[in-house]
């Protein structure tokens, strides 16, 4: 994690919960996007195979 130095540790420790929350939100967004993309890809392949257009 690259964070700019704020000068004193007290201010940094006050900012830590917000950055942690942002990291958790970011991780959640990435996880859901990966989950959705893999699910959509699976549904697309299944739909293609079901119609017999292409077997990948």
Q: Please tell me the predicted confidence (pLDDT) of residue 30.
A: 93
Domain locations along the chain: 11-56
What global pTM score does this model have?
0.44
54 with 48: CB under 8 angstroms?
yes
Q: Please tell me the predicted confidence (pLDDT) of residue 50.
A: 74
pLDDT tens for the chain, residues 1 to 56: 455 555 544 445 555 677 888 889 999 999 999 988 888 888 888 877 777 654 44
Q: Please tell me the predicted confidence (pLDDT) of residue 13.
A: 54
Q: Please tell me the predicted confidence (pLDDT) of residue 8.
A: 47
CA 51 – CA 7 distance, rounded (Å): 63
Structure tokens at 9: 């540790």
């Amino acid at each position: 994690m690259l964070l700019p130095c704020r000068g004193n540790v007290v201010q940094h420790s006050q900012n830590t919960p917000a950055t942690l929350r942002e990291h958790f939100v970011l991780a959640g967004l990435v996880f859901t996007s990966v989950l959705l993309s893999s699910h959509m890809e699976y549904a697309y392949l299944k739909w293609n195979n079901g119609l017999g257009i292409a077997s990948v």
